[in-house]
Amino acid sequence: MNPEIEKRRTFAIVSHPDAGKTTITEKFLWYGNVIREAGHVRAKANKSYTVSDWMKIEQQRGISVSSSVLNFPFEGCMFNLVDTPGHQDFCEDTYRALTAVDAALVLIDSVNGVEKQTIRLMNVCRMRHTPIITFINKMDLDGRHVLDLLDQIESVLQIKTAPFTLPIGVGKLFKGVYSIAENTFHTFNPDDGKQEIIQMEGPDDPRLVELCGENWVNQFKEEYEMVTGGMDPFDHEKFLKGEMCPVFFGSAVNNFGVRQLLNAFAKLAPPPMIRDTDKRPVKPDEDAFSAFVFKIQANMDPKHRDRTAFLRICSGSFTRGEKVFHVRTGRDIRLAAPTAFLAKDKEVIDHAWAGDIVGINDPGLFRIGDTLTDGEKMNFTGIPDFAPEHFARVTLLNPLKSKQMAKGLAELSEEGATQLYEPLKSAVPVVGVVGELQFDVLKFRLQSEYGADVQLDRVPAHCIRWVKGPEADVGKFAEEYAGDCMMDKERNLVCLFPNEYRLNLALKNYERLSFAETSQG
């Protein structure tokens, strides 16, 4: 494999909200010498915000609502890190981000254990056989028992665990972690942040008792025996298939255990993997360039009203200014200024390789799932499409801003989180989202980025269906169900069924039509 491609490590961080995801991202960047100091997540007005949460609404609420991409070097590797939203209302952004990575870091809060959103995201990783590394965070708080946490990961997340480190002490009496493979003890000192790595003879080394106290060492020895005697040893092949995960313990906010975690990604996580298309599997070291769009983000730079398409490069490499083939439209396009990211800060790059995630300026040409190649007609598969579950009519509060609202709705719906519909019987647009909180984000962004103040009135609906079939039947259906029918942005007919009875009636009366659950169905 090309040494440049071999160096790439592309991974996402997934977790339940508040498990410490943004904090650990900051520490990674600090180790990559990308930022000088890590900003605290809910920094006050006079301090820097976290680098990865760049939208105003993210900074105000202290949550991530959009995946951000961060590129940084570490120990001879080039990391592409996708920081994903933890909140379930933004899960479709996370699901798409998981299609663009080769591994994932699952972050677990030691106090709360495995939480609901982690389970949902882990299901996606399992479906894709994504290699997983687990970090149990917040060991400086009084959390659950170590063996309970390991047992919970195995039973709830359905993946075998292989602890690489074990903690000694917990909460205010957390002493540090013991590295099983290296027989080293990493001391934890929250007061001055100094960390020592002490070589031990083994878990019976008397210096451990001197450093940690007999009670904690006795508990640690029990756990050590259970882990080394009763658990399967780490198997790299099983890890690569997503069947076994290394487990590390630490405290991200105290920058403890983070370096071992990054080292583990550099050593264990795979370089770019083979990707499936509708024609054939694509190997990363093929000469021909190929990539797909997994995310579109509008207005990363409010001054320029820009739109950025995020590309995952799957094979080969490309040089700035080269022409590539846009499979869906059949057009050749020039990638004039590909960029690497530090959240919203961009830097134009001259070269990118398989495994890299780069941004390209989007003049309105790209859609999520688009494939770019050197000319081969193929499409990467497995990029999910989601049907909205919540709907609202968008009423403009200042009629003079209708152009701004139309532009804002069109551009924000291109990002994939919001779907825009045009009702057959009304001039008032309808938007659909997967999670309720998306409505708040949409309203906020229309106001702050486009100057359009809107009111969102919920539309009660049982479900949405894409109506396909013979033209005459589609026309007849649209006439009968006109009050519930709308056109999507591709001018496909969709029906917002108000209840199950209406859906069943349509299925019975229109046997020649198909009622698909997603636009790709």
- Residue 9's DSSP bridge partners are 79
- The annotation status of 272 as a binding-site residue, yes or no, is no
16 labelled ligand-binding: yes
Is residue 19 marked as binding? yes
Residue 193 assigned as binding residue: no
**3-state SS of 184-242?**
EEEECCCCCCCCCEEECCCCCCHHHHHHHCHHHHHHHHHHHHHHHHHCCCCCHHHHHCC
Q: What is the dihedral of CA 323, 328, 329, 333, to 10 degrees?
A: -10
User: Was 17 annotated as part of a binding site?
Assistant: yes
Residue 397 corresponds to which amino acid?
Answer: L
Q: In angstroms, rounded to a whole number, what is the distance separating the alpha carbons of residues 151 and 9?
A: 29
- Any known ligand binding at 304? no
Residue 483 annotated as lining a ligand binding site = no
- Alpha-carbon distances, residue 234 vs 9, 133, 185, 304 (angstroms): 20, 12, 20, 50
Buried (b) or exposed (e) across 348-373, using 16+ Cβ within 10 A?
ebeebbbbbbbbbbbeebbbbbbbbb
Annotated binding-site residue? 15: yes
Q: Are 485 and 494 in contact (CB under 8 A)?
A: yes
The answer to the question of whether 18 is labelled as a binding residue is yes
Task: Give the separation between CA 50 and CA 41, rounded to whole angstroms.
Answer: 6
Judge whether 86 is annotated as a binding position.
Answer: yes
| Residue 20 among known ligand-binding residues | yes
140 is in an annotated binding site: yes
Residue 139 in marked binding region? yes
The answer to the question of whether 138 is labelled as a binding residue is: yes
The contacts of residue 221 (CB under 8 Å, 6+ apart) are 203, 204
Structure letter (DSSP) for residue 81: E
Strand partners, 515: 467
374 labeled part of a ligand binding site: no
- Is 145 labeled as ligand-binding? no
Residue list for the binding site for GTP: 15-22, 83-87, 137-140
Residue list for the binding site: 15-22, 83-87, 137-140
